[in-house]
Structure 1
């Protein structure tokens, strides 16, 4: 009655569940000259335009009209709201607003937060210059805003999932303080400019799902020392790093899938280590094309699917180099030396390694399921194998004893069943064996190297496993007996 209301919150209070609230209306007779906060979000104005008279609420500081079902052209009168700090005009999928010009926006000189997601800005050719005139702006959201093309020079702004087309301007290298750049899901083409390598403060870069082409070289990324997240997926890029031997991206926040192109492009690669990231999806079979690969460490990610049968084709893991380990020290100068950290024998070790001395496969702590391919037993030259912490089923490969160079073998915390193959006793170099927390059964093999590995913790939490070094004796060995195995089916 007095008109001295300062805050009016009429947002639809329930979570959006696919249903729309009843049709809403705003009366132009509303006279609230003292209002500084107005929230009409999540209502249903059924495509009606935003009322012009809102532009007369001169003291307004917060205007929230998001997902309210407004349609039509956003009125220029909003430019009269010179005290506005927060403006949210995001449209929803049912009704969409548009603008014919954004010339009114710089009048809101104190604006700090602007959201025009799903608003059609295709006619606002001056959008990037106008937004750059807002000195206090700290949050800008233009998600699916149908933006016109980027101009030839790029001011200090970020955008994502619009219809941006054309090449990335070379001037992008001038944004020396830029830390977060997301231009994914656009129509960008051409090559990635070399000037991108000047963004030494950049920690997040997403150029995924564009039409970028050309070759990626090591020089582009040599100075991006702060980069922790890089997504270049779903483009047309090639890799011009044919002499690259080591990729160590361990302990970052990399997400998405392992690129298939690695297998066909980096043919000299000997070490691939994206350990402890957030990679997901299947392990691409194309990695088996890396015939020189000696260290593959994909551990501690979110990888799923089954192990590709083609993994048995890693030539460098199949071959026993120069007839044995001792012979490799005779001509040290002929081998490439590199620092690499490898999880082996239950701990992390840093090798200042001669590559020909180290072969390691670590896929532990993922979501890999299915059986261990028999093809892996072709790895006669493999020194370290860790498949623990997955969902592997079926039996341990019968011919595992053919992997004669194995020193640590860790298959713990899976769902492996059936017997432990007797051939495991023929792994003469085996120093560390870990098989607990599976469904293994019957008698533990004996003989050869297994006589030294007599720690019961190697075999614990396998309910139907018995025999030395476990306290449960095999039937016929006095005095105890194995538990009776439950029949299935």
Structure 2
């Protein structure tokens, strides 16, 4: 009987434990509540944070902290085990995620987190911890299994003590401003499955591959944008369990994809974009039959798209854009029923768009979400079959030869969020059409939309990027558009003929990029929001002062980085309210009617990289720019500035690439400090009152010395724009108006390839310095209208890149150097009105120029009509002996005179009798001369 009771008691106990366990696991029958010490720790943590969107509103008083936002407790012990404070308001483009700054937690990470001794999950991503180092105390939180500090604005070296977190399975430190000296601490994380160090500077970590290869549990490895320039060989890939390998944008110096990659047969995700890989797409990739995502974009792969790519039955994403590939979308691709994303930009498909739609019309059409065929030599009409892609949300067919109307079947794509049909020959839709979709991005650049502003745009309530530039719109923008477009981040309506006045935009708080350039807008400058980052009103008919525009809310720091106001009718002085525009990088006020001196506050623009003030009526000095030491481009041409060229230009503008002081009243000598501008590619000092000699140190302009100079890259301004902008990373190129080959031209896309020196129309004198011939990358050299003397440097032929030479209207002498015949790129030459002599050297180039190129000299030979047989010229090797011949001629005359003198006088001195007879002889001769003169007078 007792045995039965014991058994019954044990059974009761087991049932009770099971019941309690079930209730705990369900989290509804029993709850301990958070511990007081941990609640206080969270409140201390909150005190150091700003929370503009009140995400931590529930963290108050003596409430149960296990119920607070982002907090998860163990239902048995009550200890906090998870803290998830990730900014929930993030959005993605094709390259990366981004956070809404208005919902970020801002501040510092309080060490009170150490009191959460059972914390195993910590996510602080997409917040702002204001440029401090990763707190060392995190390295002591030994129970952590999950740590995510991505997008948190941490800086400095990753503390190697992170290797003490031996329980970590997930580590994400991506998209901060971090670096490492090495990765020797990583093997301490032996349980690590997921590692993301994207955007961490690993350039010094030569051990990166060897170390990561020692992590036996590693499943996902993300090292994008880590400045890894060498991809070492690997005998055996121990991390053969990898399912994700992301090496995006490292620009490896290796030419080919290493063989060890082909052994990672469990890979599901492979991203090798932007890495300089070349050759055909490697055959070894065929081994990776588990691949679902294959991204090879923006390398140097060539030849055809291999047909075996279309045998990856599991493939969901295929990206081979921006290589040197060609081929066709073939019928077998129709069997890839799992395809969600196809990116074939800049692949020479040479197909009609209707054929591609036919191939995708089967099982592919129902699942396809992203289709990118930008610049892929696609032609023909958009057909009704566009409407078959019911799940398509991203469509980019830009930069092709697609013609005809935009089909109404576009209206069947209710999930569309991104459309870019720019740079085709497409026609607009019916003005009364109401689309079923709500777009975030719409690009119709260079499409013909008709003269009226499309009214169907009013129905788009979520549009944040709109590009209708070059679209033939000639009317005005309806007021309803300005009032309903408050959600737009980027608006580009440039290069149309839109007229009317621009309304005040102070309430357009979301607007960050506004481009209305090259239209017919008139009236005064409107007031703008302080959140605007890029503003282009150039080439309109806007008039009046800029005082109200620049000085609006004068004490409020502006976010503006790019301001283009050139080519308007703005007038008056440049008001002195620039001190709150310290984010400004490009300022273009050229081609207006501004007057007066430069305001002192321009010197507060410490971020300014490009300043264009050309063609105004500005005067005085440029001294207020002395503190703008970030300048790469300075163009103050065609004004009334009067001063010596400041010596501090060479001292303070060490990164200067373009310097244009043309058509002012600068005077005195050329400062030698200009030779210190090693990155200078364009220097235009023409039409001033400069004098003296050209400094011999001119060969220090290194950007003009070598054809392989990287200095040109400094002229390209790369700025990461926002997800609303398409594409998300844009290249803004500097432009400059320069005189080359005798005419003014604006250079933009290829400006970084241009090298010019123009010292014309000044008072320079002396010889052309021999050192100038070291500038082998120089393309245009203009010294005309000066007072240069001496010879053209004999070694000028070493300047092989020269395309234009103008030495006219000087006092140069001697022959044209024979080496000039080797300037095979030369297509503009003017040596007229000098004192040059001799025969024009024979070459295809020199004889191809008009005779006017050599006029006003003493030259002969083609292309001049004067034959050199009629012109006795001293051979070149005798020219140098002319002075020596003259010397010996004068010596001979002197010796002859002295010899004759002593032959006559010597005997007279030696003999008195001879002297007597000689005087009597002269006396008789004198009498005869007098007699003859008397008779003549009669």
Q: 1:142, 1:159 within 8 Å by CA — same for their partners in 2?
A: yes
1:255 paired with 2:586, answer yes
| Matches of 2:532 and 2:607, distance apart in 1 | 21
Give the counterpart of 1:182 among 506, 510, 515.
515
Per-residue CA shift, 1:86-112, capped at 9, x if unaligned? 3333342xx33332236242x114x33
TM score, norm. by length of structure 2:
0.31
**Which sections of structure 1, spanning at least 5 residues, go unmatched?**
319-341, 347-361, 400-410, 418-461, 463-486
Counterpart of 1:108? 437
Q: 2:620, 2:640 within 8 Å by CA — same for their partners in 1?
A: no
Give the counterpart of 2:460 among 127, 134, 137.
134
1:290 paired with 2:623, answer no
Q: 1:11 to 1:68 in 2, by over 3 A?
A: farther
Residue 184 of structure 1 deviates from its aligned partner by 1.8
Q: 1:247 to 1:108 in 2, by over 3 A?
A: closer
Q: 2:643, 2:667 within 8 Å by CA — same for their partners in 1?
A: no
Q: 1:11 to 1:385 in 2, by over 3 A?
A: closer
Matched position secondary structure for 1:205: strand
1:80 paired with 2:412, answer yes
Residue 296 of structure 1 deviates from its aligned partner by 4.4
Give the counterpart of 1:277 among 605, 608, 626.
608
Counterpart of 2:476? 149
Matched position secondary structure for 2:386: helix
Residue 345 of structure 1 deviates from its aligned partner by 13
Q: Write the mapping of 1:115-264 to structure 2, written as runs, cut at 5 A.
A: 115-122=443-450, 125-127=453-455, 130-147=456-473, 148-153=475-480, 154=482, 155-156=484-485, 157=488, 158-193=491-526, 196-197=527-528, 199-218=529-548, 220-223=550-553, 225-226=557-558, 227-239=560-572, 244=575, 252-255=583-586, 259=590
Counterpart of 2:819? none
Give the counterpart of 2:656 among 350, 366, 377.
366
Residue 233 of structure 1 deviates from its aligned partner by 0.6
Matched position secondary structure for 1:34: helix
Residue 80 of structure 1 deviates from its aligned partner by 1.8
Give the counterpart of 2:393 among 61, 65, 69.
61
| Matches of 1:69 and 1:132, distance apart in 2 | 29
| Matches of 2:336 and 2:447, distance apart in 1 | 32
Q: 1:69 to 1:188 in 2, by over 3 A?
A: same
Q: 2:345, 2:372 within 8 Å by CA — same for their partners in 1?
A: no
Q: 1:60, 1:81 within 8 Å by CA — same for their partners in 2?
A: yes
Residue 265 of structure 1 deviates from its aligned partner by 1.1
**Per residue, is there more helix in 1 or in 2?**
2
TM score, norm. by length of structure 1:
0.54
Matched position secondary structure for 2:463: coil
Q: 1:210 to 1:6 in 2, by over 3 A?
A: farther
Over alpha carbons, which structure has the higher Rg?
2
Matched position secondary structure for 1:213: strand
| Matches of 1:285 and 1:126, distance apart in 2 | 37
Q: 1:73, 1:97 within 8 Å by CA — same for their partners in 2?
A: yes
RMSD of Structure 2 on Structure 1 (CA): 5.2
Residue 57 of structure 1 deviates from its aligned partner by 3.7
Residue 294 of structure 1 deviates from its aligned partner by 5.4
Q: Write the mapping of 1:390-429 to structure 2, written as runs, cut at 5 A.
A: 390=677, 415=699
| Matches of 2:660 and 2:606, distance apart in 1 | 22
Q: 1:414 to 1:68 in 2, by over 3 A?
A: closer
Q: 1:159, 1:183 within 8 Å by CA — same for their partners in 2?
A: yes
Per-residue CA shift, 1:292-312, capped at 9, x if unaligned? 77544264423378999975x
Q: 1:233 to 1:286 in 2, by over 3 A?
A: closer
| Matches of 2:561 and 2:368, distance apart in 1 | 41
Number of matched pairs? 347
1:39 paired with 2:371, answer yes
Structure with greater contact order relative to length (CA < 8 Å, sep ≥ 6): 1
Q: 1:113 to 1:293 in 2, by over 3 A?
A: closer
Residue 74 of structure 1 deviates from its aligned partner by 1.3
Q: 2:649, 2:674 within 8 Å by CA — same for their partners in 1?
A: no
Residue 70 of structure 1 deviates from its aligned partner by 2.6
Counterpart of 2:595? 265
Q: 2:640, 2:665 within 8 Å by CA — same for their partners in 1?
A: no
Q: 1:55 to 1:240 in 2, by over 3 A?
A: same
Per-residue CA shift, 1:226-277, capped at 9, x if unaligned? 1232110111211256xx5686688644336563657x51248567535652
Q: 1:308 to 1:66 in 2, by over 3 A?
A: closer
**Which sections of structure 2, spanning at least 5 residues, go unmatched?**
1-331, 685-689, 702-770, 772-792, 796-938
| Matches of 1:208 and 1:104, distance apart in 2 | 33
Counterpart of 1:328? none
Q: 1:302 to 1:4 in 2, by over 3 A?
A: closer
